[in-house]
Structure 1
Amino acid sequence: MAVSVALAVLLGAGIGQASAAAVAYVTSETNGVGVIDLDQMTLKKTIALGKDGPRGLSLTADGSKLLVANKTGDLSVIDTSTDKVITRVKIGKNPEFVRVHRGFAYVTYEPGESGPPPQALAANQGAQGAQGAGKPEGKPEAEAGGAPGKGGGHDDDDDANGPPAEVAIVDLKTMKVVRSVKSGHETEGVEFSPDGRELLVTNEGDDTVSVYRTGTGKLVRTVKMDKGSRPRGIKASPDHKQYVVTLENTNKFVVLDAATLKTLKTVDTKMGPYGVAFDPEGKHLLVAAARDKTLQVFDAKTYEHVADAPVGQRCWHFSFTPDGSKLLMACGRSNAVFVLDAKTYQTVGQIGDLPLAWGIVTSPPSQGSIESR
Structure 2
Amino acid sequence: MQFIKPAVVLGLLISSLFANAEDRGKAYVSNQEGGVSIINLNTMETEGSIDIQAKNPRGIGVTEDGRFLITANKDNENLSVIDLKTNQFVKHIPVGKNPEFVRVYKGYVFVSTEPASSGKPPVAGQEDDDKDEPKIPARIAVVDLAKGKKIRDIIGGPETEGIEFSKSGKEIIVTNEADNTITVHNFSNGKLLKTISTKKYGERPRGIKVAPNGKYYVSTLEYGNSFIVLDNQFKHLKTIATGESPYGVSFDREGKRLFVATSKAKTLEVYDTTNFEKIKDIPTGRRCWHFSFSPDDKDILLACGKSDEVLVIDAEKLEVTKHIPHKEIPWGVVAYPKAMGTLDNVQ
Match of 1:248 in 2: 222
Deviations 1:125-165 (A, max 9, x none): xxxxxxxxxxx79x6x87xx9423658xxxx9xx9844111
* Residue 82 of structure 2 corresponds to residue 105 of structure 1: no
Correspondences of 1:29-178 after superposition (within 5 Å): 29-50=32-53, 52-71=55-74, 72-111=76-115, 146-148=123-125, 161-178=134-151
Aligned 8 A contact 1:160 1:205 in 2: no
* Residue 330 of structure 2 corresponds to residue 353 of structure 1: no
Match of 2:271 in 1: 298
Identity of aligned residues (%): 43
Structure 1 Cα separation of the partners of residues 344 and 241 of structure 2:
25
TM score, norm. by length of structure 2: 0.89
* Residue 212 of structure 2 corresponds to residue 238 of structure 1: yes
Structure 2 Cα separation of the partners of residues 358 and 339 of structure 1:
15
Structure 1 pair 19–176 and aligned structure 2 pair: CA distance change class (3 A):
farther
- Following superposition, the deviation at residue 167 of structure 1 comes to 1.0
SS at match of 2:264: helix
Aligned 8 A contact 1:31 1:50 in 2: no
* Residue 258 of structure 2 corresponds to residue 285 of structure 1: yes
Structure 1 Cα separation of the partners of residues 138 and 239 of structure 2:
27
Query: Please, which runs of 5 or more residues in structure 2 have no aligned partner?
Result: 1-12
Correspondences of 1:258-337 after superposition (within 5 Å): 258-259=232-233, 261-337=234-310
Aligned AA (2:325)? G
Structure 1 Cα separation of the partners of residues 154 and 221 of structure 2:
24
Structure 1 pair 347–19 and aligned structure 2 pair: CA distance change class (3 A):
closer
Match of 2:194 in 1: 221
Match of 1:190 in 2: 163
Structure 2 Cα separation of the partners of residues 68 and 328 of structure 1:
18
SS at match of 1:334: coil
SS at match of 1:181: strand
Structure 2 Cα separation of the partners of residues 308 and 111 of structure 1:
36
Deviations 1:43-67 (A, max 9, x none): 1111123561000011111010001
Aligned 8 A contact 1:251 1:272 in 2: yes
Structure 2 Cα separation of the partners of residues 94 and 160 of structure 1:
19
TM score, norm. by length of structure 1: 0.83
- Following superposition, the deviation at residue 293 of structure 1 comes to 0.4
SS at match of 1:291: coil
Give me the CA root mean square deviation.
Answer: 2.4
Deviations 1:9-53 (A, max 9, x none): xx9xx9697696610000000011011000010111111235610
Structure 1 Cα separation of the partners of residues 267 and 127 of structure 2:
22
Query: Please, which runs of 5 or more residues in structure 1 have no aligned partner?
Result: 1-10, 113-135
Structure 2 Cα separation of the partners of residues 177 and 301 of structure 1:
41
Deviations 1:49-103 (A, max 9, x none): 3561000011111010001000110100000011111011011111111111112
Aligned 8 A contact 1:148 1:229 in 2: no
Structure 1 pair 149–359 and aligned structure 2 pair: CA distance change class (3 A):
farther
Aligned 8 A contact 2:51 2:88 in 1: no
Structure 2 Cα separation of the partners of residues 46 and 333 of structure 1:
20
Indicate which of 204, 211, 214 corresponds to 2:177: 204
Aligned AA (2:208)? I
Aligned AA (1:176)? K
